[in-house]
Amino acid sequence: MTNSTKQFPEGFLWGGATAANQIEGGYHEGNKGLNIADVLPGGKERLRILTNPGFDFEIDHDKYSYPNHEAIDFYHRYKEDIALFAEMGFKAYRMSIAWSRIFPNGDELEPNEEGLDFYDRVFDELHKHGIEPVVTISHYEMPLTLVKQYGGWRSREVVPFFERYVKAIFARYKDKVKYWMTFNEINSALHFPIMSMGFSIEKEEDKYQSIFQAFHHQFVASSIAVKACHEMIPDARIGCMLLSAPVYSYDSKPENVMFALQEERIFNYFCGDVHVRGEYPAFAKRFFKEHNVNLDIHEGDLELIKEHTVDYIALSYYMSLTQVKDKSGFEITPGNLLEGVKNPFLKASDWGWEIDPEGLRITLNKLYDRYQLPLFVVENGLGAYDKVEEDGSINDDYRIDYLRSHIKAMGEAIEDGVDLMGYTSWGCIDVVSASTGEFSKRYGFIYVDKQDDGSGTLNRKKKKSFDWYKEVIASNGEKL
């Protein structure tokens, strides 16, 4: 099907996205230290850990498998993978740096040269192919020492360690990386703080106090990073990264509409407001009061946050959420560990994530109305089971349909007036799933022969969507 509306601007950053912990493997190579992802088992056990207290952060090979340890071995195969990205015509590749490769325990004084060297080689390879690196500074991979000894982002002591880390990577890569973002899906911590904040909630009554105090530490850390980036790499841009899911009211009953608005404000806008406007939003006051949140704010924090706000907003978008104040009698959807009620107008993926391209247009419009800052869709995609046919082909038309409809929605948003910088679809090559630790939940244009039981050759194979996306990029979004 052809669509020739010329909606996407010249220089639009088409590409794909991954994260170090889900792709690299080599978990103890190059002097890397352990990070939080290294101790997360695969399968059902992971889901239990992400949503329940009492995880001890120890590796137990007799009991569990650890899919992130080898992942898809990008650590050794990055040249082959980047060549495939280049073949698709990627303009940009979003990736993350594993903090624990640069500071293995997180609290050392000097960075690890082998870790720095690895990313030098990756960035050089990308530039060789004319691909712009877009780098997440922290994507679910906090050094384990900071988790175990300090309590993750709950502790203020982590802030100077993060500062040392960001300054080390800015100094080293200032000529190679011009697009940065701080914390992946920072707001996801409201639902599963382990991955991004490095702690689990032990007592339900402490939940909001610990999460919002940790947010405060991350906001301070983010402003330190923004300040350092602007000073050290004046021609770079640095953004925040938000998990975005518009929240619909199930019906027009005013109490449900208000409930959906509250959910949307706390989940979608709270972090964005602080990152972009440099202030805690007005609605936080009542929320904090009602949830017994008393923030420990140090002198100078609020000024720092106000002065060093982000240059753009990066976002992930997979699905929308539908809410009703009283959920009894409603069917619940388990999307991305976020809980909503079933939307009768939407179909869902095999993992219950409701597919809603119009929701992407709505999200982009809402974010742009609110912030008037450039937006960058840095994650979007369909997790699906892929079948390798006897002739070796993988006909992932369902993925093409999903991506096509979401790219169309972005085109509409651009026509609506939204300033959109680019699109890097999630898991451009199959990766370990963050929420389930499975390999069989695949997103890629490139299939990786790695199975849930850990078997497989790790060979790469192009799916049908590979050639489709190549055309999309070559036509700057016109041929869908």
The nearest distance, CB 183 to ligand BGP, in angstroms, is 10
Residue among 22 and 210 whose Cβ is closer to ligand BGP: 22
Residue among 3 and 51 whose Cβ is closer to ligand BGP: 51
- Residue 206 is given by DSSP the state G
DSSP letter for each residue of 23-86 = H---TTSTTPPPBGGGGPPSTHHHHHHHHSS-------TTT---TTTTTT-HHHHHHHHHHHHH
Residue among 135 and 434 whose Cβ is closer to ligand BGP: 434
Looking up tokens 């609020």, which residue turns up? 302
Residue among 316 and 323 whose Cβ is closer to ligand BGP: 316
Cβ neighbours of 175 (radius 10 Å): 10
Helix (H) or strand (E) run with residue 87 in it: helix 74-88
Distances (CA, A) of 224 to 136, 167, 229, 406: 15, 9, 8, 34
The β-bridge partners of 134 are 94, 179
Cα separation of 410 and 391, whole Å? 35
The nearest distance, CB 270 to ligand BGP, in angstroms, is 17
Cβ neighbours of 19 (radius 10 Å): 27
The two three-digit tokens of residue 311, written as one number: 């240059």
Residues that bind ligand BGP (CB under 6 A): 19, 22, 184-185, 316, 336, 379, 383, 426, 433-436, 441
Confirm if 458 and 448 have CB atoms less than 8 A apart.
yes
The β-bridge partners of 354 are 348
The nearest distance, CB 210 to ligand BGP, in angstroms, is 21
The nearest distance, CB 321 to ligand BGP, in angstroms, is 14
Residue among 199 and 426 whose Cβ is closer to ligand BGP: 426
Known catalytic residue: 263? no
The nearest distance, CB 431 to ligand BGP, in angstroms, is 7
Query: Which member of 379, 389, 390, 415 is catalytic?
Result: 379
Residue among 233 and 434 whose Cβ is closer to ligand BGP: 434
The nearest distance, CB 204 to ligand BGP, in angstroms, is 23
Cα separation of 347 and 390, whole Å? 29
Alpha helices in 291-420 (DSSP H): 301-307, 357-371, 397-416
The residues annotated as belonging to the active site are: 379
